[in-house]
Structure 1
Amino acid sequence: MGAGLTAFGSLIWLFWPENFLESLDPEPLFVFLVSAVVWVFTEFKFNDDIENARASPNDVRNARDLLRLHAEEFRTLLKHHDTFQFLDVAYYNLVSQLLRRSQNGSFIFQNKELANKFRSFCTALERFDQFVGSHTAPELIAGALRTGFKPYQRVSQEQYNQCLNLAREANDLASEAWDKLTLFCEAVKELVPEAFDEPLSEVSWRSVSS
């Protein structure tokens, strides 16, 4: 707007005299041309900034899913849960589902900063997922499948201690993934504020079988 007013003022300066040909002055003409170029550039830049500030529907939808997981399921699994203890496999299935959707391109972010932070989170989450998958197997307990490092059958003290150590490693990996997810959610507050317009709901793809 300021650049536009400057250009307009220069135009008045240029054409104010009655005799245009005699009063044509190169100095105001130069000021007008420069101001006009700056004005056009500023308008285009302003429009680009508005366009870039608008989050895509895809980014809003996926950001809301991760905000929900950060507030609920992943908060339980990655922050509060001790992996030595048994937990319903549904929590671990969500991890596998999210990683699979990320790998096949059905869960991505168009915003470059969010995409980088999400990729960093997925790298940490995959390390956790692979570690748990390599050292545990679901057990049917009280009618439900549950996963944990705690031995379900009687074992030697040495084996029990090994399981404890593995659980500590898994807890460290979970904490790393949680920290990456928290960094992502902090970026969402700045880059996709639209994600907070409605109450968070259960992720749409949770019912997909693992």
Structure 2
Amino acid sequence: MGGYGTWNFRELLKDHDYHRGIPPRFLTEASFLVSETELGIAHFQDKKVQMKYRDFVDRLKAFVDYFGMHSSPERFGSVTLQSVIPASQFDEMNIAQHHQSEINEVNRLATEAWKALVPLISEIKDRIPEVFDEPIKGGWIRSPEE
């Protein structure tokens, strides 16, 4: 789960308002986590953490499924965004009622998933504190022998 980045989940589930589009990679990464969990690849051995993780993934799946069914990647100028409102119909002042209802539901499902993620992170910090000991370093690291 750490590979998906809490900051990505914060943007996807808390900070973003789905009246606007979002880069499709956010939905793709969330879909991968759901898939890896369903395949048994992503999980926790600690039962308390796993219970909270399953609750989060179930809510994330509801969000991913709904948003995936009610949006599409659209070209907005030079940028491609995953959007509920098609680019050809986008008008910030006049949003069709069915689009507004879909946006409200996407925002609600995102909030529900975020509410499940916060206690999961707390549980991981309490029960598996070594996860947060050191940030993961990227790049090439030379051994002392080199």
The SS at the match of 1:153 is helix
Is 1:187 matched up with 2:123? yes
TM-score (normalised: structure 1): 0.60
User: Is 2:114 aligned against 1:178?
Assistant: yes
Tell me the residue number matched to 1:93.
Answer: 28
Question: Which residue of the partner structure matches residue 62 of structure 2?
Answer: 127
Kindly name which structure, 1 or 2, has the bigger radius of gyration based on alpha carbons. 1
Q: Partners in 1 of 2:3 and 2:120 — Cα distance? A: 12
Gaps of 5+ in 2: 139-146
Asked if 2 retains the 8 angstrom alpha-carbon contact of 1:151 and 1:160, the reply is no
Structure 2 vs 1, CA of residues 134 and 120 (structure 1 numbering), >3 Å: closer, same or farther? same
> What aligned pairs does 1:1-210 form with structure 2 within 5 A after superposition?
62=1, 64-65=2-3, 69-70=5-6, 72-154=7-89, 160-200=96-136
Q: Give the direction of change, closer, same or farther, for the CA distance of 1:88–1:155 in structure 2 (3 Å limit).
A: closer
Offset, 1:106: 1.1
User: Matched residue pairs, number?
Assistant: 137
Gaps of 5+ in 1: 1-61, 203-210
Q: For 1:138 and 1:151, how far apart are their aligned partners in 2?
A: 9
In 2, distance between residues paired with 1:91 and 1:201?
22
Distance (Å, rounded) in 2 between the aligned partners of 1:73 and 1:155: 25
Deviations 1:155-199 (A, max 9, x none): 799872211121011101000000101110010111011011112
The Cα shift of 1:105 comes to 1.2
- Amino acid of the residue matched to residue 3 of structure 2? D
Work out the CA distance in 2 between the residues paired with 1:132 and 1:110.
30
* Offset from partner CA, 1:13-53 (integer Å, 9 cap, x none): xxxxxxxxxxxxxxxxxxxxxxxxxxxxxxxxxxxxxxxxx
C-alpha separation in 2, matches of 1:77 and 1:200: 22
- How far off is 1:200 after superposition? 4.9
Q: Quick check: which one's helix share is greater? A: 1
Give the aligned residue type for 1:173.
L
Percent identity of paired positions between Structure 1 and Structure 2: 28
In structure 1, what is the Cα distance between the partners aligned to 2:137 and 2:99?
36
Q: Which amino acid aligns with 1:78?
A: L
Does the CA contact (< 8 Å) of 1:73 and 1:91 recur in 2?
A: yes
TM-score (norm 2): 0.84
Contact 1:89–1:145 under 8 Å retained in 2: yes
